[in-house]
Structure 1
Amino acid sequence: MAVDPRGADLKRYLADDPGGPVTMLNLLRFREGGRELYARYAAALEETFLPRYGGEVLYAGDGATPLVAEDGQAWDAVALVRYPSREEFSRMVADEDYQKVTQWRTDALEEAVLQATAEWPARA
């Protein structure tokens, strides 16, 4: 299972850009022992890379018993991370320093979903 975006994924992500901020939905399933590696990655992300690229963690937490889900759709953890733009997120993942720590994320995860979301327009 893929856990990291590839070049073609990032090109499509940028081509579909509606503009404005983006909140990335992260659904995470850890390998055995992966939580500790992911914690190292998350600390580096919050201390260095989110401030550098204007990102912020809106929510991060452990998964719990799903109320509505098929078998295999439960996740170990969920995070919502907001960036000022898709371009800033892309710049972050291309950053040489980020590339040095992202291996911790890769090694920590058995499966992941990383999905861009767009805020719904305000209701009248």
Structure 2
Amino acid sequence: MAVDPRGADLKRYLAEDPGGPVVMLNLLRFREGGQDSYDQYAAALEKRFLSRYGARVLYAGSGSTPLVAEPGQDWDAVLLVQYPSREAFSRMVADPEYQQVTHLRTEALSEAVLQATTPWPDERP
């Protein structure tokens, strides 16, 4: 299973940019013992990269009892991270210094969803 964005994924992500800030939904499933590696990654992200690229964690929490889910649709952790733009996220993941720590995330995860979200208009029914 893929846990990291690939070049083609990033190109499509940028091509579909509606403009403005983006909130990235992160659904994470850890490998056995992977939580420690992810914690190291998260600490590096918080300390060195989020402010550099104008990002902030809106929510981070552990998965709990799924109320509506098929088998295998439960997650160990959920994060919402806001970036000022899709381009800012893309620049961060391309940063050579970030590339030196991203292996911690890759090693930690057995499965992940990383999905850009767009806000609903205020006049939604």
TM-score (norm 2): 0.98
Q: 1:20 corresponds to which residue?
A: 20
Q: 2:101 corresponds to which residue?
A: 101
Q: Residues 57-76 of structure 1: matches in 2 within 5 Å?
A: 57-76=57-76
Amino acid aligned to 1:7: G
Q: Residues 11-90 of structure 1: matches in 2 within 5 Å?
A: 11-90=11-90
Q: Deviations over 1:8-43 (max 9, x none)?
A: 000000000000000000000000110000000000
More helix by share: 1
Q: Deviations over 1:78-101 (max 9, x none)?
A: 000000000000000000000000
* CA distance in 1 between partners of 2:24 and 2:62 (Å): 17
TM-score (norm 1): 0.98
3-state secondary structure, aligned to 1:52: coil
Q: 1:117 corresponds to which residue?
A: 117
Q: CA deviation at 1:121?
A: 1.4
**How many aligned positions are there?**
124
Q: Percent identity of the aligned residues?
A: 75
Q: CA deviation at 1:48?
A: 0.8
Give structure 2 stretches of 5+ with no counterpart. none
Q: RMSD over aligned Cα, in angstroms?
A: 0.8
* CA distance in 2 between partners of 1:49 and 1:122 (Å): 31
Q: CA deviation at 1:123?
A: 3.0
* CA distance in 2 between partners of 1:63 and 1:53 (Å): 27
* CA distance in 1 between partners of 2:121 and 2:44 (Å): 33
Q: Deviations over 1:91-114 (max 9, x none)?
A: 000000000000000000000000
Amino acid aligned to 1:49: F
